[in-house]
Structure 1
Amino acid sequence: MNDQDRYLFDLQGYLTIPDAIPADLLQRLNAQLDEMAERETEPDMRTHRFGDLLGRDAAFRTLMDLPPVVDVLDDVLGSDFRLDHTYADIIRSGDGPIGTVLHGGAVPFRASEYYTVTPDGRIRSGLVAVGFNLKDVGPDDGGFACVPGSHKSAFPFPDAWKQLANQHPCVRRVTGPAGTAVVFTEALVHGTLPWRGADERRTAFYKYSPAAVSWSAGYYDADDYPDLTERQRAMLEAPNARYGGRLRARA
């Protein structure tokens, strides 16, 4: 990250990256979601969450290490970060798959979801989410929202403000055209506003953890995906300290 982006991420707890997804990849991803929705949901479906994405089309594996996103993840997680889990949401109207309640936050402390800056000026976060907008998200559409700066608050977020259906003034809508990536620490208070857009909300979520930490109880096996690059294979390692000789010892 450059100095401006680093400052904004530390200030807000999130950063938007315009045009993070190349146009041809975006087209492939939406074509895959078209097929998934037709195959796995009912015609009158209003909202649906598709589980782990890596075992689907290769387009979803390409999404795991796009260069503009990796540049941010390297800075906030360390260059040995790992992919923790993935899913995709479609919302056609109203509430999303997990409702409209804000969650996350710095208090109480959670060992897998935290935010700090080291004495030498390095950002270090627990679980970091990347929400990829696969369709446009306009200012009045709904979708992702957060409380900027809440990742550094010393106090719990008030329960009376958690329901997004009654949006508190401290909540910010985060928008962007298709292809935008929103990178945020899970220590940030965040949630999903009711969807009111003319088109669907389509978001692919990729969640990343520090090398030795896991949020998910399940781990990937890189051998399940023969088309991965070496960098992608490293991102699928189970949580460990990345010590020398570890792969030989496991073999």
Structure 2
Amino acid sequence: MAYKIAVSNEKGGVAKTTSTLSLGAALAELSHRVLLIDLDPQANLSLALGFETGAVEVTSANVLIENAPIRNAIRKTDVKNLDLVPSNARIESAEQYLPMRSHYLTTLQNALEAGSLPYDYILLDCPPALGAITLNALSAADLLIIPTQAEYFSAYALRNMMGSIRRIRQESNPDLAYRILVTLLDRRNRTHRNIFEQLQATFGQGVFTTVIEIDTKLRESPIAGLPITHYKPNSRGSQQYRVLAQELIEYAKEEANRQAA
């Protein structure tokens, strides 16, 4: 069964989509079968992999709104072991449509289970809002990764995210775990260092050991239509996302062993 990871933060500009793509590619590089699901109306994940979203017939919108089989929406990418369910602007209407259903929080979860998908990891790139789509992703996920800059407003936004985690644990997914991923870190910046230390002190093991530092190559890779691990495989960003992939794999193994005990 696939290990499902939602990547979400209502605060924009925290490398959410970059982290989804780069982590997914790093896992695929290790011969894991990976599916990325774009749930963002902006469709930046789809665009970063070279998909013209207006030309895609079946997207995540069809899955959430029309109950289309998720297998019908899967597309191969140019990256080995990495597939994509693309998105487009139409998915935004799911924010209004989904709450009209009973038990709407499990719509995506049900679609994934019905698909019997042959993947080791499924990564869900959420919109930058805590609406119905994001809540569906959290209901379906084993782990929530929260990309967070070491800046005041980004750290403050964690309060709302923690509230959503509590809600989902109560209503639909009691086993949802989370990890904070510090991104765009500038180690020369004293404020960045101080807030990073505060996050570690507050959340303890809820913060990934791996951090993603500022790297201009990470901004360039979407223009090339490739993840950073393929665009600049020897860059600092590539190396850090590979380390993150290893940390994630170890965490998933520990969780599986804990649940089996």
Q: TM-score, normalised by structure 2?
A: 0.23
More helix by share: 2
Structure possessing the higher radius of gyration over alpha carbons: 1
Q: TM-score, normalised by structure 1?
A: 0.23
